[in-house]
Structure 1
Amino acid sequence: MVDYTANASYKLLLETAEQLIQEKGCRHTTLQQIMLSTGLSKGAIYHYVKSKEELFGLILASQVELINDSFLLTIEKSCSLTAPLLAITEGLDQLQQKDSVANQILTYLLSQKDKPGIANVLQQFHERSTVTLLEWIESGQKEGLIAQTVDARKAAEQGVMLSYGMCVRNIMLADTLSSPARAFEKEDFYTFMLLILQDGTSE
């Protein structure tokens, strides 16, 4: 996969799409509108994506990369697992908020899963999320912050599944006037992951 992250047109494409999603929602955001708002030609946009759903998948991936950047900054300066895991927890919590672009995109893509190409976008996002969390765990093990006895791949899959569960819960409760008290929040996610990653050891 080509890395376009340093490309100005690519950044403009993602930023504009995010803004339009915030204003209009996913269903009413089109590549034509993005083209008009960015000034990019159809050919320029299709150089990066072939559909708006594919573009939405890239936005989800970029949100994961933001959390990754925060994690990498903290792990370099940390002598315990606390700060890096907090960076992950805070980042995931932001993605799961009902008004976040990432949550809106995930809601939209799940509702359109039966359409051609969308299942592939979701699969790529899942794979990227799992690989990223796996890389975080392996980095923590390399730095001596996470026990070597931890099964990194299994822990990564557990973390991703738990974050999905919290995200889907927020989607389901997004339109309710008064949500019931939630027994599991980001602090609990942090504690749960800490127990998994410490594997019974102390910081």
Structure 2
Amino acid sequence: MMTPDLNPPSSSFQLILDTAEQLIREKGCNKTTLQDIMDRSGLSKGAIYHYVSGKDELFGRILISKMEKINENFHTAVTHAASGDASSPIQMIVGRMMINTDNESVTNKIFTYLLSQSENPKIAKILTELYEYTHQLSIQWIQRGQQAGAIPSHIDAVKLSTLFNIFTYGLRTHRIIVQDEEKFGFDDIFNVIFKSLQ
């Protein structure tokens, strides 16, 4: 089962994640194999299977690790933001969202790969766990903003988190299909999210 780990990944697991990302950039998801990852990283099959049950779970863990990094950056941005200021944490989230939903990003390649195989029960479970993790993080971000006085307390964190995920998933699809990024850029996304939090 793919469960988020709040502790930093071990050096071996981080090497596996980094190697897999590099290979996906070079070869794509379909052509990247665990054997490639073993060959490139120098780790054994047992070392990889200590952390994941296979390639698809590993790809899901890469997506989780990206969300963990966004979460870490969000909390740093909140810590440095002035009291009641939601703009700098939201700018950080939107910036990472733009990178992670870019058509050429590893995260979008993995997401598209997993989504294309969602009839497979194991992959469907990975996607569900990823969605639930992202949903819970978004709820925590909204609640943290409410506690800091940057987001009105009347906003329903669960509903807004759901809308945030719908927007993010739609943005991923949009950026795969529509190549002209100038039509809907950082400022547009920031304004949509910022206004939804008022």
TM-score (normalizing by structure 1): 0.89
Deviations 1:153-199 (A, max 9, x none): 1111111110111111111235xxxx4963x433222112212212x
Choose from 57, 80, 94 the match for 1:89: 94
Q: Does residue 195 in structure 1 map to residue 195 in structure 2? A: yes
Q: Distance in 2 between matches of 1:5 and 1:117?
A: 25
SS at match of 2:103: coil
CA-to-partner distance for each residue in 1:41-73, whole Å, 9 max, x for gaps? 111111111111110000011111121121111
CA-based RMSD: 1.6
Name the structure 2 match of 1:201: none
Q: Which amino acid aligns with 2:139?
A: L
The partner residue of 1:152 within 145, 157, 163 is 157
In the alignment, the residues of structure 2 paired with residue 42 and residue 111 of structure 1 have an alpha-carbon distance, to the nearest angstrom, of 26
Question: CA deviation digits over 1:105-148, x for unaligned, max 9?
Answer: 01111111122411111111111111111111111111111111
CA distance in 2, matches of 1:151, 1:2: 25
Supply the distance in 1 between the matched residues of 2:131 and 2:164 (Cα, whole angstroms).
Answer: 12
Which residue number corresponds to residue 105 of structure 2? 100
Q: TM-score w.r.t. structure 2 length?
A: 0.92
Runs (5+) with no aligned partner, structure 2: none
Q: Which of 58, 62, 75 does residue 61 from structure 2 map onto?
A: 58
Q: How many residues align?
A: 193
Counterpart residue type for residue 29 of structure 2 = C
Q: Which runs of 5+ in 1 are unaligned?
A: 199-203
Q: Give the distance between the partners of 1:31 and 1:152, measured in 2 at CA.
A: 39
The equivalent of 2:24 in structure 1 is 21
Q: What is the CA–CA distance in structure 2 between the aligned matches of 1:168 and 1:2, rounded to whole Å?
A: 25
Q: Tell me how far apart the structure 1 counterparts of residues 181 and 144 of structure 2 sit (CA, whole Å).
A: 38
Q: Would the aligned equivalents of 2:4 and 2:133 in 1 still touch at CA under 8 Å?
A: no
SS of equivalent to 1:117: helix
Instruction: Look up the equivalent residue of 1:69 and give its one-letter code.
Output: E
Matched, 1:121 2:98: no
Identity %: 39
Residue 38 of structure 1: how far off its partner (Å): 1.2
Equivalence for 1:67: 70
The 4+ residue runs of structure 1 with deviation greater than 3 A are none
Indicate how the Cα distance of structure 1 residues 2 and 135 shifts in structure 2: closer, same or farther if over 3 A, else same: closer
